[in-house]
Amino acid sequence: MPINASLGDLSNGLLLVAVVLYALAMLCYASDFAFARHRIMAGLTDTTVAEVAVPELVAAGSGGPATNVTASPPSATSAAGERASRWPSGFWLRLAFGLTCAGLTAHLAAILARGIAEHRTPWGNMYEFIAAFTCMAVLVLVAASVRYRAYYMGLFVMIPIVFGLGIDLTVLYTPAGSLVPALQSYWIAIHVTAMIVAIGLFIFGAVVTTMYLLASRSVRRLAADQPSWSAGILRHLPAPAVLDRLSYRSILFAFPVWTFGVMAGAIWADHAWGRYWGWDPKETWSFITWVVYAMFLHARATAGWRGRRAAAIQLIGFGCLLFNVIGVNIWISGLHSYAGMG
Window 272 to 311, contacts with another protein (CB under 8 A) = 272-281, 284-285, 287-288, 291-292, 294-295, 297-308
Among 10, 30, 139, 148, binds another protein (CB under 8 A): 148
CB of 164 to another protein, least distance (A): 23
Q: State yes or no: residue 147 binds another protein (CB under 8 A).
A: yes
Number of residues lying near another protein (CB under 8 A): 95
Q: State yes or no: residue 256 binds another protein (CB under 8 A).
A: yes
CB of 48 to another protein, least distance (A): 6
Q: State yes or no: residue 223 binds another protein (CB under 8 A).
A: yes
3-state SS, the chain, equals CCCCHHHHHHHHHHHHHHHHHHHHHHHHHHHHHHHCCCCCCHHHCHHHHHHHHHHHHHHHHHHCCCHHHHHCHHHHHHHHHHHHHCCCCCHHHHHHHHHHHHHHHHHHHHHHHHHHHHCCCCCCCHHHHHHHHHHHHHHHHHHHHHHHCCHHHHHHHHHHHHHHHHHHHHCCCCCCCCCCHHHCCCHHHHHHHHHHHHHHHHHHHHHHHHHHHHHHHHHHHHHCCCCCCCHHHHCCCCCHHHHHHHHHHHHHHHHHHHHHHHHHHHHHHHHHHCCCCCCCHHHHHHHHHHHHHHHHHHHHCCCCCCCHHHHHHHHHHHHHHHHHHHHHHHHCCCCCCCCCCC
Residue placing its CB nearer to another protein in the complex, 35 or 184: 184
Q: State yes or no: residue 263 binds another protein (CB under 8 A).
A: yes
Among 20, 108, 116, 249, binds another protein (CB under 8 A): 249
CB of 187 to another protein, least distance (A): 8
Hey, which residues between 77 and 136 contact another protein (CB under 8 A)?
A: none
CB of 20 to another protein, least distance (A): 26
Hey, which residues between 44 and 73 contact another protein (CB under 8 A)?
A: 44-46, 48-50, 52-54, 56-57, 60-61, 64-66, 68-69, 72
Q: State yes or no: residue 328 binds another protein (CB under 8 A).
A: yes
